[in-house]
Structure 1
Amino acid sequence: MLESWTSSQVRAAEEPLLAAGEPLMERAAFALHVHVCAALAELRGRIGGARVLVLAGSGNNGGDALYAGALLARRGVEVRAVLASDRVHQGGLDALLRAGGRVVDRPGDPDLVLDGLVGIGGDGSGLHGRAAEVAHGLTGGAFVVAVDVPSGIGVDDGTATGPGLDADLTVTFGAAKPGLLLPPAARRAGRVEVVDIGLTLDEPPAVARLDDSDVAQLWPVPTADAHKYTRGVVGVVAGSRAYPGAAILATTAALRAGVGMVRYLGDVGDVVVAANPEVVVGNGRVQAWVFGPGVSTDDASQRRRIQYALEHVVTGGEPAVIDAGALELLPERVGPHAVLTPHAGELAALLGARGEDVDRAGIEAEPLRWARRTHELTGATVLLKGPVTLVVGALGATYAQADAPAWLATAGAGDVLAGLLGALLAARVDAIHDDPTIVAALAATAALVHGRAAHRANPGGPISATDVAEALPGTIAALVEGP
Structure 2
Amino acid sequence: MSRLPPGTLMQRAAAGLAAACGTLMHGTYSRRLTVLTGSGDNGGDALYAAARLARRGAGVTAVLLNPERAHPGGLAALRRAGGRALTADTPADAKDADAAIANAHLVLDGIVGIGGTGGLRPAAAHLAHAAHQARASVVAVDLPSGIVADTGEVPGEAVRADATVTFGTYKPGLLIDPAAEHAGALRLIDIGLGPYLPDPELEALQHSDVAALLPTPSGESDKYRRGVVGVVAGSERYPGAAVLAVGGALRGGAGAVRYVGPGAAAVIARYPETLVSAGPPAKAGRVQAWVVGPGLGDDRAARQAVEQVLASDVPVLVDADGLRLADREQIRRRTSPTVLTPHAGEAAALLSADRADVEAARLAHVTRLAAAYDATVLLKGSTTLIAEQGRPVRVNPTGTAWLSTAGSGDVLSGLTGSLLAAGLAARDAASVGAYLHGLAGREAPVPFGAHELADRIPQVWRSVHPRT
TM-score by length of 1: 0.89
Indicate the RMSD between aligned Cα atoms, in angstroms: 1.7
4+ residue runs over 6 A deviation: none
- Segments of 5+ residues of structure 2 without an aligned counterpart are 87-92, 278-283
Query: In structure 2, what is the equivalent of residue 454 of structure 1?
Result: 441
- Structure 2 residue 56 is matched with structure 1 residue 75: yes
- Structure 2 residue 41 is matched with structure 1 residue 60: yes
Query: In structure 1, what is the equivalent of residue 10 of structure 2?
Result: 25
For residues 188 and 201 of structure 1, what CA distance do their matches in structure 2 show? 28
Q: 2:319 aligns with which of 309, 323, 335?
A: 323
Alignment of 1:52-131 (within 5 A): 52-85=33-66, 86-104=68-86, 105=93, 106-107=97-98, 108=100, 109=102, 110-123=104-117, 125-131=118-124
- Structure 2 residue 51 is matched with structure 1 residue 50: no
Shift of 1:305: 1.3
Query: In structure 2, what is the equivalent of residue 5 of structure 1?
Result: none
Alignment of 1:295-306 (within 5 A): 295-297=296-298, 299-306=299-306
Please give the secondary structure, in 2, of the residue aligned with 1:407. Answer: helix
Question: Which amino acid in 2 is paired with 1:67?
Answer: Y
For residues 335 and 373 of structure 1, what CA distance do their matches in structure 2 show? 19
- Tell me if structure 2 keeps the 8 A contact 1:399–1:441: no
For residues 22 and 80 of structure 1, what CA distance do their matches in structure 2 show? 23
Alignment of 1:4-403 (within 5 A): 15-18=1-4, 21=6, 23-41=8-26, 46-85=27-66, 86-104=68-86, 105=93, 106-107=97-98, 108=100, 109=102, 110-123=104-117, 125-138=118-131, 139-199=133-193, 200-282=195-277, 283-297=284-298, 299-312=299-312, 316=313, 318-328=314-324, 329-332=326-329, 333=332, 334=334, 337-352=337-352, 358-403=353-398
Question: Which amino acid in 1 is paired with 2:344?
Answer: A
- Structure 2 residue 435 is matched with structure 1 residue 442: no
Aligned pair in 2 of structure 1 residues 22, 49: CA closer, same or farther (>3 Å)? closer
Bigger mean CA deviation after superposition, 63-72 or 46-55:
46-55
Question: Which amino acid in 1 is paired with 2:17?
Answer: L
Aligned pair in 2 of structure 1 residues 359, 335: CA closer, same or farther (>3 Å)? farther
For residues 210 and 61 of structure 1, what CA distance do their matches in structure 2 show? 29
- Tell me if structure 2 keeps the 8 A contact 1:288–1:320: yes
For residues 129 and 459 of structure 2, what CA distance do their matches in structure 1 show? 46
For residues 197 and 36 of structure 2, what CA distance do their matches in structure 1 show? 33
Aligned pair in 2 of structure 1 residues 335, 137: CA closer, same or farther (>3 Å)? farther
Aligned pair in 2 of structure 1 residues 322, 112: CA closer, same or farther (>3 Å)? same
Aligned pair in 2 of structure 1 residues 115, 132: CA closer, same or farther (>3 Å)? same
Aligned pair in 2 of structure 1 residues 350, 103: CA closer, same or farther (>3 Å)? same
- Tell me if structure 1 keeps the 8 A contact 2:128–2:160: no
- Tell me if structure 2 keeps the 8 A contact 1:82–1:134: no
Query: In structure 2, what is the equivalent of residue 8 of structure 1?
Result: none
For residues 300 and 460 of structure 2, what CA distance do their matches in structure 1 show? 37
Please give the secondary structure, in 2, of the residue aligned with 1:17. Answer: coil
What is the total number of aligned residue pairs between the two structures? Answer: 443
Question: Which amino acid in 2 is paired with 1:64?
Answer: D
Please give the secondary structure, in 1, of the residue aligned with 2:35. Answer: strand
Shift of 1:258: 2.9
Shift of 1:161: 2.5
Shift of 1:157: 0.7
Shift of 1:454: 1.3
Question: Which amino acid in 1 is paired with 2:405?
Answer: T
